[in-house]
Structure 1
Amino acid sequence: MFADIEFNPRLLLGLEKQAITEPTEVQREVLPLAMAGHDLQVCAETGSGKTLAYLLPVMQQLLDNPAPQSATRALVLVPTRELAKQVFKSCKVFTDLTQLEVGSLTGGEEFKYQAAILRKNPEIIVATPGRLVDHLKRDTAELGDLEFLILDEADRMLDMGFAEDMDMVVSCCSKQRQTFMLSATLRHEGVGRIARQMLNDPQQITTHSVQQQHEFIRQQRILADDNAHKDRLLTWLLANERYDKAIIFVNRRDEAERLAEFLRRHRTDIATLHGEMTQDERNYVMQSLRQGKRSVLVATDVAARGLDVEGMDLVVNYDLARKGDEYVHRIGRTGRAGKAGLAISLIAANEWNLKAAIERYLNQQMEAREIDGLKGKYRGPKKVKASGKAAGKKKPKPAVRKAQAKKSVKKGSDKKKAGPRPSRPKEQKSNLMDSDGFAPIKKKQS
């Protein structure tokens, strides 16, 4: 029994091998509804166990109803190769103990190799949208027999421009299917459209909103003058903070390369991960992290989702995330499975407003922190002060201003209205000004 559900003994053995004895909150919510055949829209924090929440009921139903002659029966669609590899690895633990097969379709691998996998008709496919669409166009993938469609990190797929690919994938799927949509953040404007189009009367589950502070992650911010100042702060943090593994997020590939090269002057355990790397390079980086050969990873947002490395207990936002959702996923690389983590953001002047927007989105403040000997000139936004004479005067209160206005009106009403000023007689005017407009010089009388 797991979550009061009688799972196949082979699946329970897979849980036992991973030392999983109790379901997480999201698993307790999702498993009964999924087993009952409902479509689900799930929002739960990173590291909460969402992957097993949909894999277990899908595999149980595939085992209960074998269909050896059918094509792919379950599809897990994910935004990145890293997340695809993570889901594939989780699934493989169970399929190795059963007659089920799982395959993976992502960029960076040969089509011939992947086509050979598809010819074996694995029951479960884990894929990224772009590569799966390529196989559909080549008629090497078949989704007509699909019984389960899982959209993992749907909001991220929309952000990455996969909306058309997702529509094409769904159009190729059987309409008689069960669909799950999952993410740590489901506030994307396009998610509602997808939910209406792809889900049938879904049950909505929210176990943890992003506005609730993650109880295991301490969030701090340090003010910085510029990138040179950030380099010094980062070097100090990596040398003085206590951590097993750390990940440093930047927003651009070239900045990831530059920063990694700078850090290698100080230490040798630096790895880099970004979207322009080949799949073999990515695999090598992740393997070196998991084996402990590298302990510091400099990465773009390609590592913000799906990266689950044991001991990742320090996250540094060298560049602040551009959106609140991405910030949530970044810091979610630490503090996983009940373990404590620390997330530090280095904030330059041009990032202050973005920091404030993220804090409003999360409804929480980052803890201010300073490092002795490395305090910068930037101390946050300056308050606008009044200038001139008005700076020393206090504006009267509204009631006082109204009383002053009435007094002024009353005082003016007591005076007689002044008529037009009478003009001087012509002879008087001639005594004042000559014909050229100048005052005449008065001669002294002798």
Structure 2
Amino acid sequence: MNHPDRPGTSHGDPAQPVIPAPAVAPVTSFADLELPAAILRTLTELGLREPFPIQAATLPHSLAGHDVLGRGRTGSGKTLAFGLPLLARTAGRRAESKQPLALILVPTRELAQQVTEALAPYADALRLRMTAVVGGMSIGRQAAALRDGAEVVVATPGRLHDLIERKACRLGRVRITVLDEADQMCDMGFLPQVTEVLDQVHPDGQRMLFSATLDRDVDQLVRRYLHDPVVHSVDPSAGAVTTMDHHVLVVHGPDRYAVTTEIAARDGRVLLFLDTKHAVDQLTRHLRASGVHAAALHSGKSQPQRTRTLAQFKNGQITVLVATNVAARGLHVDDLDLVVNVDPPTDPKDYLHRAGRTARAGESGSVVTLVLPGQRRETSRLMSEAGIEPTITKVRSGEAELSRITGAKAPSGAPLDGGPATPRAKNTNTPFRGLGTSKDTSRHTGGKSRKATEARKLAEARKAARVRRGA
């Protein structure tokens, strides 16, 4: 489908080069902007008077209806940068059944929830109806909300596609469309659904796209669907954030769980990343048995479980969030000053997005990656591609250096969910029983004791000698 207002952006044609619009002096106060009085009152009530740099730079353009292309990591105030103009320009209009007027497309349920919560006070002030359309929740209830009428929809691509297929949602009246974290949507395989959406919204509408990278599929979206966009860098990459420290801690395999447990027992919140759902659940059980207030977050959890876990992490009931990459984007927690890659990421973008959960909006934070000696070369390559120069330190559990970098300390050992207390190591440089190799793990891991192993080797040697004599 060609868009008459977007010359040169038909499906197979090259687009015009992306050229920044003429500079407009950024504002220094929300009061300087042509925002509805209801929004200004709400901003004041929430203690927000001075916009973040990305908001100050883009709001004059987005309020005027220009397309906006924002590049950079999360945590810089993007949500209000696109949310306030979207709400302001929708105010006073009323949606018909199943036909929203504005759409915010995001890759994950968590980000959809965060965006919805952040914009709800302003939508309420303008009497705009807003609904979230995401997987893991009742599709019937979401269809009912659309049927009753919602001016603003925050959606993940898969669930929105399902509702469109059911004829429960029509996008022809959507005049403002936002793609947030566009690169992740493409990485997750949502490009067909995203293009389907953009082909169905009003062709003369405003589009705002925010992405950490503008390569490959994202570049295709920019060229195909944005018309003369105003271009702004949302925030520097994680490697350029001066308030973020990066550490690579080299640990021995048997000691990795002990190191992780001591880091988790620190004072203050910490976000731990692992690769698989099984590993997340296993570590969470161990931490809770060790007396650490930990909870798991991954795609195997229901949406109500995920919502409850995030709320507990934000209010301090849970101090340790153990997660897969599902928490690498769209998660904002105030005062989160430590992110730990228990499993090193395999992609530079994954590292940067995990790292982006800390040192947000000018705050400081640290990112720690645990590596085994054999992983050092691959991790160094990944860090280099991510533009990161980490401090590399060899550590053991119980050492002062580990505490200095991460705040690690010994856990209480008192289980939170009943059952026997987790056995403690006999000295500070050995792992917790059952979580690695130690002098005698036969009772805890099903392995052989050292004496049994030596006896087996002796028996095999005697047998080999008898065979040789018989030959």
Following superposition, the deviation at residue 109 of structure 1 comes to 1.3
Unaligned 5+ segments in structure 2 are 1-28, 400-428, 430-471
Matched, 1:11 2:34: no
**For the residues of structure 2 that align with 1:198 and 1:305, how far apart are their CA atoms?**
24
**For the residues of structure 1 that align with 2:127 and 2:56, how far apart are their CA atoms?**
26
What is the letter of the counterpart of residue 193 of structure 1?
Answer: Q
Following superposition, the deviation at residue 42 of structure 1 comes to 0.3
The residue aligned with 2:203 is: 175
1:20-99 correspondence runs (5 A): 20-63=48-91, 66-69=93-96, 71-99=99-127
The residue aligned with 1:210 is: 237
What is the letter of the counterpart of residue 296 of structure 1?
Answer: V
**For the residues of structure 2 that align with 1:8 and 1:21, how far apart are their CA atoms?**
14
Following superposition, the deviation at residue 350 of structure 1 comes to 4.6
Q: CA RMSD in A?
A: 2.0
Following superposition, the deviation at residue 189 of structure 1 comes to 1.9
Following superposition, the deviation at residue 246 of structure 1 comes to 0.8
TM-score after normalising by structure 1: 0.79
Aligned counterpart in structure 2 of residue 163 of structure 1, from 191, 198, 202:
191
The residue aligned with 1:269 is: 293
Contact between 1:334 and 1:342, CA under 8 Å: does it hold in 2? yes
**For the residues of structure 1 that align with 2:333 and 2:341, how far apart are their CA atoms?**
18
User: Which sits farther off after the overlay, 322-331 or 128-137?
Assistant: 322-331
Contact between 2:72 and 2:213, CA under 8 Å: does it hold in 1? no
Matched, 1:234 2:253: no
How many residues of Structure 1 are paired with residues of Structure 2 in the alignment?
372
Matched, 1:126 2:154: yes
**For the residues of structure 2 that align with 1:358 and 1:32, how far apart are their CA atoms?**
38
Using the aligned pairs only, state the percent identity: 32
Following superposition, the deviation at residue 54 of structure 1 comes to 0.3
The residue aligned with 1:148 is: 176
Following superposition, the deviation at residue 30 of structure 1 comes to 1.2
What is the letter of the counterpart of residue 34 of structure 2?
Answer: E
Following superposition, the deviation at residue 134 of structure 1 comes to 0.2
Does the C-alpha gap of structure 1 residues 350 and 40 become closer, same or farther in structure 2, counting only changes over 3 Å?
farther
Following superposition, the deviation at residue 230 of structure 1 comes to 1.6
Contact between 2:344 and 2:369, CA under 8 Å: does it hold in 1? yes
Aligned counterpart in structure 2 of residue 341 of structure 1, from 352, 365, 375:
365
Matched, 1:201 2:225: no
Contact between 1:26 and 1:44, CA under 8 Å: does it hold in 2? no
Deviations 1:77-118 (A, max 9, x none): 000000000000011111122211101100111122111100
**For the residues of structure 2 that align with 1:181 and 1:250, how far apart are their CA atoms?**
29
The residue aligned with 2:421 is: none
Deviations 1:260-300 (A, max 9, x none): 12212212411000011111111121122123211101000
What is the letter of the counterpart of residue 299 of structure 1?
Answer: A
Does the C-alpha gap of structure 1 residues 370 and 350 become closer, same or farther in structure 2, counting only changes over 3 Å?
closer
**For the residues of structure 1 that align with 2:297 and 2:198, how far apart are their CA atoms?**
31
1:353-432 correspondence runs (5 A): 353-371=377-395
Contact between 2:130 and 2:154, CA under 8 Å: does it hold in 1? yes
Does the C-alpha gap of structure 1 residues 342 and 73 become closer, same or farther in structure 2, counting only changes over 3 Å?
same
Contact between 1:211 and 1:361, CA under 8 Å: does it hold in 2? no
What is the letter of the counterpart of residue 227 of structure 2?
Answer: N
Following superposition, the deviation at residue 68 of structure 1 comes to 5.0
The residue aligned with 2:280 is: 256
Flag the structure with larger Rg: 1
User: Which sits farther off after the overlay, 230-239 or 311-320?
Assistant: 230-239
Does the C-alpha gap of structure 1 residues 4 and 301 become closer, same or farther in structure 2, counting only changes over 3 Å?
same
Contact between 2:31 and 2:49, CA under 8 Å: does it hold in 1? no
Secondary structure in 2 matching 1:190: helix
Deviations 1:174-228 (A, max 9, x none): 1111111112x114421111111221222221143327521222111101232x3
Following superposition, the deviation at residue 372 of structure 1 comes to 5.4
Following superposition, the deviation at residue 331 of structure 1 comes to 1.3
The residue aligned with 1:291 is: 315
Contact between 1:221 and 1:368, CA under 8 Å: does it hold in 2? yes
